Structure 1
Amino acid sequence: MDSHLILEPTFPGTVVERQGKSAAEFLDGLFFGTKGLMLSQVREITKLETSVIQNWVNRGWVQKPVEKRYSANHLARILLINMLREVTKLETIVHILTYLNGSANCREDDSISESQLYIYICDILDEVDYETILSGSLDRLIESRATDYREPFPGAREKVMNAAKLILTYYAASLVKVRADRLYEQAVEPVLKV
């Protein structure tokens, strides 16, 4: 099995092809010269149903859009939830994000912006392999990606490190699940249909 984590040529949580771009370039390109994205654009990027996104907003898992527009932080939080939801409970994902940044509707207690976290995660995914994640040696790699991170309050760095490790581990598990599902579809389903 290929040990590199990036299986698909898309940004995690999206259907948007990477085409050699970094996550920072992806987000910057989406939000350059705009006041934010409309719900239809978020749907197009994620292939999530309108009702799913609105449900996450109504439950307080994603901050309410401002003037019906989703910011980079809104989108990044949606992408983080979307990239992990196939492998763990939505409540668990939200607990991780709440541990990291408190309420989705309050920015004052954030350890890191969701957009910066998403960029860190994507940058790490460009380098990491399964063995690094499974061996628990992510600290050094996360630290190397977060050299520009400035702790807004004592203990924030530790929260960022812990949340990043959790997100990366769950994401690796989701990729393994995708591979297992594809193998099942290719090997077992054809035999059962006979």
Structure 2
Amino acid sequence: MREIVFATNNEHKLQELREIVGHKFNILSLAQIGCHDDIPETASTIEGNAEMKARYVKQHYGYDCFSDDTGLEIDALGGEPGVYSARYAGPGHDSEANIDKVLAKLQGVPPERRTARFRTAVALLQGQQLHIFEGKVEGHILTERHGTGGFGYDSIFAPVEGRGLTFAQMQPQEKNAISHRGRAVARLVQFLASQE
């Protein structure tokens, strides 16, 4: 089985990716290759952050790898939190605080103006060849949390194709079939499969 490094130590992301990819590849985490560094994510776009992480792993550890970055773009907030989604409420990557900040900023905004999308960029670095795969899903932001699954902003994001459910209310396979990350990773897997 082919091995590929996913530049993350986020267990939620690893589990989700392994479910999406199935048995096609053995996905190694940063910890599994001995990388415990705090990889910088200082680019101004999600594509730039994904590329930055992939290049860091290649440069310091020698592995071909892929990495992702995701942004939640809320139209009524001018595209915020966007590239700052993981640290919207501060540097601690506190999902609950991030959600609280979004809900507070959207206080009084009517449902029809709460449109949003999740965008994921996956950067694959093979040798010196960089490939970017994007996935996105449209939806809207609810006024309160619903569901206990998923992670990040999943409990307040209801995708258009989601039967009125938030990502946090869906079973993992249902979420992965329509999610931003699922779509980006499907393009990555299709590309890798075409090389065999």
Q: Which has the higher strand share?
A: 2
Indicate the structure with greater helix content.
1
Normalised to the residue count of structure 1, the TM-score between the two structures is: 0.33
Q: Which has the higher contact order (CA 8 A, sep 6+)?
A: 1
Q: TM-score, normalised to structure 2's length?
A: 0.33
